[in-house]
Amino acid sequence: KEVSGRLKNNRSISNCWKNRFCLKLSLFVGTAASPVCWAAGMTWGMEMLTFNIKDGYLEALVRGHKAGLLSVADYNNLSQCETLDDIKLNLTASDYGPYLANEPSPLHTTTIVEKCTQKLVDDWNKMRCQADETLGRFMDYCTYGHMIDNVVLIVTGTLHERDVQELLDKCHPLGVFDSIATLAVAQNMRELYRLVLVDTPLAPYFSENLTHEDLDEMNIEVMRNTLYKAYLDDFAKFCQSLGGTTSEVMGDLLAFETDRRALNITLNSIGTELSRDDRKKLYSNFGLLYPHGHNELSMAEDFDQIRAAMEKVPVYASIFNKLGFGESQMLDKLLYDEEVRRCVLTYEQQFHYGVFYAYMKLREQEIRNIMWISECVAQDQKARISDGIVFTF
């Protein structure tokens, strides 16, 4: 009778199914022993339930692209090549095959790198065109670093009165935006600054951190790192606002990126006129080194002091333990190894945007590997090939 009475009441039916759903969800995400636990469980549960509505297809697509990355066996075959044409032949069976198939001999390293980069750009643009608003904004954030590099390149070229087309040819395709050509024709720094504020997605980073006088007077690398700091801080806040697995995964990846930049800034500023306070201003406001590690890095005056500061973080201590004393030239490769390891781990979790960022980084590392192998072959330095390869999968 009780069941029959419920069936006559639509509201009771709705509540009955709602209670069943919540019970099953609580069993899936964990017990709801308190309101806080229940809210957390609902957040993670709803993310799993709704992610595929808009983003499931593109996540599947980017995970499929991972299968096209070169394997250890592929790198072994490339290492045996005697000429750049042999490298082209070996890459024919890979995802780069269609891009290199019609390239005539003799080949140049720049041609191979350009065609491989075009593969990444095409994959990225196809996914970006199909992304919804939130994922599209995330993918745009992923390319802002390339935009910064392109704008800094144009600023440098304008200061030295370089040819416009030469500057545009050197710009990274992922960092190209609609109005980039107008920046290249600016006659002076004031005009360039105005165009940047009006026509580029980087306008907030310029307006809040730089003036047009800075474009004339500031060291180019200081300008680049100032913009990167603003960009990474903004990107981290955006990822945090997304919540869920995306916030967790991207928090880890961006923390590593900002710590690596802090390390490189410190290494490159030793022996320069950059003061300790100015050096510290270039560090981002998050990461495993923030804030105590930043304080120590800003005071460091040689590599040993930098090493001591970095080794206080267990993750980075394991990296520096692989270095012998006086082997700082191998540090970049070890950092790339760590970045690849973190990017590969993003594929172990589901329902998040971090795989898009990871795919871009893994493909860029693969292109660096191909460029290194090609340069070693072209310069008859095959014995050094293994020194520069960072294996992805």
Q: Is 143 within a domain?
A: yes
pLDDT tens for 295-335 read: 999 999 999 999 999 999 999 999 999 887 656 668 999 99
Last residue of a domain, one of 191, 218, 245: 218
pLDDT tens for 101-125 read: 999 989 999 999 999 999 999 999 9
More confident residue, 52 or 189: 52
Q: What is the pLDDT of residue 160?
A: 82
Q: What is the pLDDT of residue 45?
A: 54
Structure tokens belonging to residue 94: 């890979």
HEC sequence for the chain: CHHHHHHCCHHHHHHHHHHHHHHHHHHHHCCCCCHHHHHHHHHHHHHHHHHHHHHHHHHHHHHHHHCCCCCHHHHHHHHCCCCHHHHHHHHCCCCCHHHHCCCCCCCCHHHHHHHHHHHHHHHHHHHHHHCCHHHHHHHHHHHHHHHHHHHHHHHHHHHCCCCHHHHHHHCCHHHCCCCHHHHHCCCCHHHHHHHHHHHCCCHHHHHHHCCHHHHHHCCHHHHHHHHHHHHHHHHHHHHHHHCHHHHHHHHHHHHHHHHHHHHHHHHHHCCCCCCHHHHHHCCCCCCCCCCHHHHHHHHCCCHHHHHHHHCCCHHHHHHHHCCCCCCHHHHHHHHHHHHHHHHHHHCCCCCCCHHHHHHHHHHHHHHHHHHHHHHHHHCCCHHHHHHHCCCCC
Average pLDDT, the chain: 86
118 and 210 assigned to the same domain: yes
37 and 137 assigned to the same domain: no
Q: Is 367 within a domain?
A: no
22 and 113 assigned to the same domain: no
Q: What is the pLDDT of residue 24?
A: 38
Query: Interior CA angle at 190 toward 188 and 192, to 5°?
Result: 70
pLDDT tens for 335-392 read: 999 999 999 999 999 999 999 999 999 999 999 999 999 999 999 999 999 999 999 8
Q: What is the pLDDT of residue 263?
A: 96
- When pLDDT is cut at 50, 70 and 90, the band that residue 255 belongs to is very high
More confident residue, 232 or 210: 232
- Mean pLDDT throughout 191-197? 82
124 and 27 assigned to the same domain: no
Q: What is the pLDDT of residue 104?
A: 92
Weakest-pLDDT range from 28-42, 126-140, 232-246, 250-264: 28-42
Q: Is 79 within a domain?
A: no
Residue ranges of alpha helices (H) inside 70-188 are: 72-79, 84-91, 97-100, 109-130, 133-159, 164-170, 180-184
pTM of the model: 0.87
pLDDT tens for 197-229 read: 777 889 999 888 888 777 776 788 899 999 999
40 and 122 assigned to the same domain: no
Cα radius of gyration rounded to whole Å, the chain? 25
Instruction: Indicate the DSSP class of residue 96.
Output: T
Last residue of a domain, one of 189, 218, 247: 218
Structure tokens belonging to residue 185: 């024709």
- Mean pLDDT throughout 250-278? 94
48 and 112 assigned to the same domain: no
Q: Is 364 within a domain?
A: no
Q: With 50 as the cut, is the pLDDT of residue 41 above it?
A: no
Q: What is the pLDDT of residue 325?
A: 62
Locus of tokens 């903004």: 234
- When pLDDT is cut at 50, 70 and 90, the band that residue 60 belongs to is very high
In 3-state terms the chain splits into helix, strand, coil percentages (rounded to 5) of 75, 0, 25
- When pLDDT is cut at 50, 70 and 90, the band that residue 393 belongs to is confident
**Owning domain of residue 30:** 1-55
- The number of domains in the chain is 2
Q: Is 381 within a domain?
A: no
Q: Which helix (H) or strand (E) holds 381?
A: none
117 and 196 assigned to the same domain: yes
- When pLDDT is cut at 50, 70 and 90, the band that residue 16 belongs to is very low
Weakest-pLDDT range from 12-26, 178-192, 266-280: 12-26
132 and 214 assigned to the same domain: yes
33 and 113 assigned to the same domain: no
Q: Is 154 within a domain?
A: yes
112 and 48 assigned to the same domain: no
Q: Is 224 within a domain?
A: no
Last residue of a domain, one of 218, 250, 276: 218
- When pLDDT is cut at 50, 70 and 90, the band that residue 196 belongs to is confident
129 and 192 assigned to the same domain: yes
- CA distances (Å), origin 224, targets 161, 183, 216, 334, 358: 19, 17, 14, 23, 23
Q: Is 201 within a domain?
A: yes
